Amino acid sequence: MAAAANPTKRLSKLLSSQSLFRRFSSTPEAQPTEKSLNLCSAVNQALHIALESDPKSYVFGEDVGFGGVFRCTVGLADRFGKARVFNTPLCEQGIVGFGIGLAAMGNRAIAEIQFADYIFPAFDQIVNEAAKFRYRSGNQFNCGGLTIRAPYGAVGHGGHYHSQSPEAFFCHVPGIKVVIPRSPYQAKGLLLSCIRDPNPVVFFEPKWLYRLAVEEVPEHDYMLPLSEAEVIREGSDLTMVGWGAQLAIMQEACRDAEKEGISCELIDLKTLLPWDKEMVEASVKKTGRLLISHEAPVTGGFGAEISASIVERCFSRLEAPVARVCGLDTPFPLVFEPFYMPTKNKILDAIRSTVNY
Amino acid sequence: MAMSWNSRRVIGAVKRVTPQWKSIVARKQGDLLPTLRLFPFPFIGDGSDGVFPRRFQSTEAEKMLELSADRSLEFPGGKVTFVSSMNFLAEASAERVHCYRTLDESGQPLMSSKFLEVSEEVAVRMYTAMVTLSQMDSIFYEAQRQGRISFYVTSIGEEAINIASAAALTDDDLIVPQYREPGVLLWRGFSLQEFANQCFSNKADYGKGRQMPVHYGSNKLNYFTVASTIASQLPHAVGAAYSLKMDKRDACVVTYFGDGGSSEGDFHAALNFAAVMDAPVIFICRNNGWAISTPTSDQFRSDGVVVRGQAYGVRSIRVDGNDALAVYSAVQSAREMAISEQRPILIEALTYRAGHHTTSDDSTKYRPADEIQLWRTSGDPVTRFRKWIECNGWWNNAAENELRSNTRQQILNAIQVAEKVEKPPVADLFTDVYDVPPPNLQEQERLLRETILRHPADYPENVPF
Ligand SMILES: Cc1ncc(C[n+]2csc(CCOP(=O)(O)OP(=O)(O)O)c2C)c(N)n1
Ligand SMILES: [Mg+2]
């Protein structure tokens, strides 16, 4: 085998040299002020705006007071005070349960779970409480002001408990929304939408991109629509669907495929629940082929849902089986991370075999 | 519910209720009355005889009952005495729970201090292990800074809890650790090479390179494998202890956690289960003041963790965690009680996380440098124990210098060896997910191997194919 490729370096190069995210973003017409921001700062800016624009909004979670272990909440406690931005005890079920109660009283509760890997103690509060709060009361009560932020995904050295992508668990829960941004511009606009959406939302932040992804982000308050996917690269031979950090890898594969004369259309789903089936359907009807890629294990991943739905809707138009390039069906392994991951070349291989089916 | 109602005397207490209360109760009476019908007993559950609207209804009959009844209620759990005064339990006692200590900062035994005998041999071994642990920490920490390992967690400042608790146990006692207790493994004979192998994720790591550094585990040494998840180990400890109990083993389970961990639901579940199941388990809380950047004042408002024990019916003690002799004595006594009486014990050891949380953390961002400095100097548990053994004539400078240079060399050697050993093979990615790999994993392994052959440059060459 050749020398070990350093995936962080590779991604970093990709992001900076080709200004991938700038090209991704559907930047609105000339904004007065824009600044180069990384994803972490974009989240931070969104939180500043959320707290500033609504006095009934709160930001809390483990270590949030000093700025959070990823520094996403830096400066908030100083500016808005400890009553609105605070550390919680180390208890995820408590964080989400508290957030539900706060939201049910008409507030915007912006809860941070330190890592998506640690969201599971709060699973009951999310699945049985937040998701059913409106339905079970006949809409007398709701906790729509609740937004749960959690950094998710691989970083190169996170092992079992600092790497997971648990989005599919939450996509099985009617009553909550699941949103994942791909870039700083998207992160800010989508997070503000989530915070202001009248439904509880789980917002997974691709922590690999916190510092790596940099793009121009307007300083003002703006929102990006939920449940609307976006074609971030147009193509005619194959539709590719992804979200979050994986899109950067998929974009790279699209470029390499193009050199071989294969034209890929890349869609950022952005909101996984409820998701924009129509856009994916329209694209697959055009290309006749579909590839889905995510970091989470392939079995029972959200790719399975997309695949099933598209087969239902586009069966007669499909020219090849739907391809899934995903994480393996193992726990997330430290030393084997490069083997576990849905790499560019795995995607490229799948693109070729789908197109040549 | 089996409950006998012995007393209506409480009803007479109405006469002594203050006028303000009367009016509040009277106003609320209308609201409360319908609810009362739900209760099978004329008693609202919390034992305080203050708010009880029905007592206002028929004073004559109640007066008669008052004369004939005694002053207690047989309630599940035992007799509950009635009192006429409405006393809320205070949120805290006037004085904080005392902390058991045997040695002062200069290593001198406190006046009339009581501790278990420690022989010269054991004391020297303990000290040696404490020094080894702290040297391992500083060298491995440096190795992480140099990029040779991906991550590290030190136990600096908590050497006494690590080593003295281990020394007080037998190897039959099962350890269910958090992540800041590698000293227990060290005491039990986990070699420096074994520590290094895990941190370098090489093929000699028992965890097959799958977990981050410091996630040690040893079946041979009765030490469950560390997980990063906070407090999730605590209920496991209780289940394991119940097994020891059922098997009538002369052993207990010892589980460790931090001040932060005491906030998780699993902590509360574990304490309650342990009490209800009469499980021989010792909970050792390392209250080191910090959970990453969160000070204990943001973690809890109770008097630390020790007071939680009583709430769950668990015998508890607070101990100076930087006093190795006190930790040793408390843990050994706890073990004796846990096994002979088949009961859980909670130990809160007061200490300080003298290092950063992990190599991903810079604690000077959130705590004063002089606080760290103080604990690293006058608070240091290793120095304190050294002074004690020196006073006993069991240790001197020559021994100290020899120990430090020897262990340093051994640790550096262990690192050099570990670094050169190759990583676990690709096959290890797919084993142990289940007892045997199911068809989906067999297929994924086959496909992965084809991919590796097609794109060898994507894969690290130190992982054997
Ligand atoms: C369930 C869970 N939530 C959050 C975390 C992130 N985290 C890792 S260590 C830590 C603080 C633990 O503090 P404490 O229990 O006091 O142990 P100490 O590190 O002080 O030894 C946190 C919040 C985690 N590992 N697991
Ligand atoms: Mg702590």
Chain A hits for B460, Cβ within 8 Å? 1, 4-5, 338
CB contact under 8 A, B294 and A62: yes
Note the CATH number of domain B120-420.
3.40.50.970
Residues A305 and A168: their CA atoms lie apart, in Å, by 9
Domain boundary among A187, A218, A249: A218
The minimal CB distance from B299 to the residues A3, A90, A299 is found for A90
Domain count of the fold of chain A: 2
Q: What is the ipTM of this complex?
A: 0.92
Range of the domain at A142: 31-218
Q: Residue B32: is it exposed, middle or buried by C-beta count within 10 angstroms (0-12/13-18/19+)? A: middle
Ligand 2: centre distance to CA B367 (Å) = 13
User: What's the angle, vertex CA A67, arms to CA A62 and CA A68, rounded to 5?
Assistant: 40
Q: Are residues A237 and A279 in the same domain?
A: yes
The minimal CB distance from A4 to the residues B298, B430, B460 is found for B460
Residue A2 lies inside a defined structural domain of this protein? no
Question: What residues 310-349 of chain A have any CB closer than 8 A to a CB of chain B?
Answer: 328-331, 333-336, 338-340, 343, 345-346, 349
| Segments of chain A with pLDDT less than 70 | 1-32
Chain B hits for A340, Cβ within 8 Å? 429
Ligand 1 neighbours, Cβ below 6 Å, are A 62, 90, 92, 114, 118, 121; B 180, 228-230, 257-261, 286, 288, 290-292, 353, 357
Domain boundary among A159, A185, A218: A218
pLDDT above 90: residue B69: no
> CA-based Rg of chain A, rounded to a whole angstrom?
20
CB contact under 8 A, A349 and B365: no
Residue A259 lies inside a defined structural domain of this protein? yes
Segments in B57-119 forming alpha helices (H): 59-68
Closest Cα to atom 25 of ligand 1: B229
Residue A5 lies inside a defined structural domain of this protein? no
Give the whole-number percent of chain B exceeding pLDDT 90. 83
What pTM does this model have?
0.90
Residues B306 and B348: their CA atoms lie apart, in Å, by 5
Q: Are residues A267 and A184 in the same domain?
A: no
Q: Are residues A214 and A305 in the same domain?
A: no
Calculate the CA A284 to chain-centre distance. Answer: 22
| The pLDDT value given to residue B113 | 86
Catalytic annotation, pick one of B96, B366, B446, B449: B366
The count of other CB atoms within 10 Å of the CB of residue B461 is 14
| The pLDDT value given to residue B21 | 37
The model's pLDDT over B19-33, given as tens digits with 9 standing for 90+, comes to: 343 333 333 333 333
Ligand 2: centre distance to CA B261 (Å) = 8
Q: Output the six-digit token pair for B40.
A: 């099978």
Residues B161 and B150: their CA atoms lie apart, in Å, by 26
| The pLDDT value given to residue A15 | 47
DSSP, collapsed to helix, strand or coil, labels residue A85 as: strand
Q: Are residues A188 and A52 in the same domain?
A: yes
Biggest alpha carbon–alpha carbon distance for chain A: 62
pLDDT above 80: residue B386: yes
| The pLDDT value given to residue A54 | 98
Q: Are residues A257 and A137 in the same domain?
A: no
Catalytic annotation, pick one of B101, B353, B356, B386: B353
Bridge partner residues of B283 (DSSP): B255, B346
Residues A189 and A181: their CA atoms lie apart, in Å, by 9
Q: Are residues A211 and A248 in the same domain?
A: no
Residue A22 lies inside a defined structural domain of this protein? no
Catalytic annotation, pick one of B215, B356, B357, B384: B357
Closest CA to B137 of B93, B173, B97, B182: B182
Residue of A nearest to B292 (CA): A63
| The pLDDT value given to residue B71 | 86
Q: Are residues A280 and A255 in the same domain?
A: yes
The model's pLDDT over B70-104, given as tens digits with 9 standing for 90+, comes to: 689 999 999 999 999 999 999 999 999 999 999 99
Q: Are residues A214 and A238 in the same domain?
A: no
A160 classed as catalytic = no
| The pLDDT value given to residue B30 | 37
Q: What is the CATH number of the domain that holds A79?
A: 3.40.50.970
Q: Are residues A210 and A83 in the same domain?
A: yes
Could you identify the atom of ligand 1 that is nearest to the CA of residue B299? 16
Residue A61 lies inside a defined structural domain of this protein? yes
B357 classed as catalytic = yes
Q: Which amino acid appears at position B137 of this protein?
A: D
Q: Are residues A49 and A174 in the same domain?
A: yes
The model's pLDDT over B395-421, given as tens digits with 9 standing for 90+, comes to: 999 999 999 999 999 999 999 999 999
- DSSP class of residue B292? T
Q: Are residues A66 and A186 in the same domain?
A: yes
Residue B350 φ then ψ, to 5°: -80, 125
Which residues make Cβ contacts (< 8 Å) with residue B134, sequence separation at least 6?
B155, B156, B159, B382
Domain boundary among A218, A244, A263: A218
* B423 touches B464 (CB < 8 A): yes
Residue B54: band (very low, low, confident or very high) from pLDDT cuts 50, 70, 90: very low
| The pLDDT value given to residue B46 | 41
Residue of B nearest to A68 (CA): B293
User: What's the angle, vertex CA A160, arms to CA B284 and CA A203, rounded to 5?
Assistant: 100
Could you identify the atom of ligand 1 that is nearest to the CA of residue B230? 26
Which residues make Cβ contacts (< 8 Å) with residue A37, sequence separation at least 6?
A45, A184, A188, A214, A215, A216, A217
Residues B457 and A357: their CA atoms lie apart, in Å, by 26
| Mean pLDDT over each residue of chain B, to the nearest integer | 89
| The pLDDT value given to residue B5 | 38
The residue of B232, B267, B293 whose CB has the most chain A CBs within 10 angstroms, and thus the best one to mutate to test that interface, is B293
Question: What residues 123-162 of chain A have any CB closer than 8 A to a CB of chain B?
Answer: 157-162
Q: Are residues A249 and A199 in the same domain?
A: no
Residues B188 and B167: their CA atoms lie apart, in Å, by 9
Kindly report whether the peptide bond that precedes residue A274 is cis, defined as omega within 30 degrees of 0: yes
| The pLDDT value given to residue B112 | 87
| The pLDDT value given to residue A19 | 42
**Beta strand segments in chain A, E:** 34-38, 57-61, 85-87, 108-112, 146-152, 177-179, 201-206, 214-218, 230-233, 238-242, 264-268, 271-273, 290-297, 323-327
Determine the residue of A69, A118, A148 to mutate for testing ligand 1's pocket, defined as the one with the most ligand atoms within 8 A of the Cβ atom.
Answer: A118
Chain A hits for B425, Cβ within 8 Å? none
Residue of B nearest to A10 (CA): B458
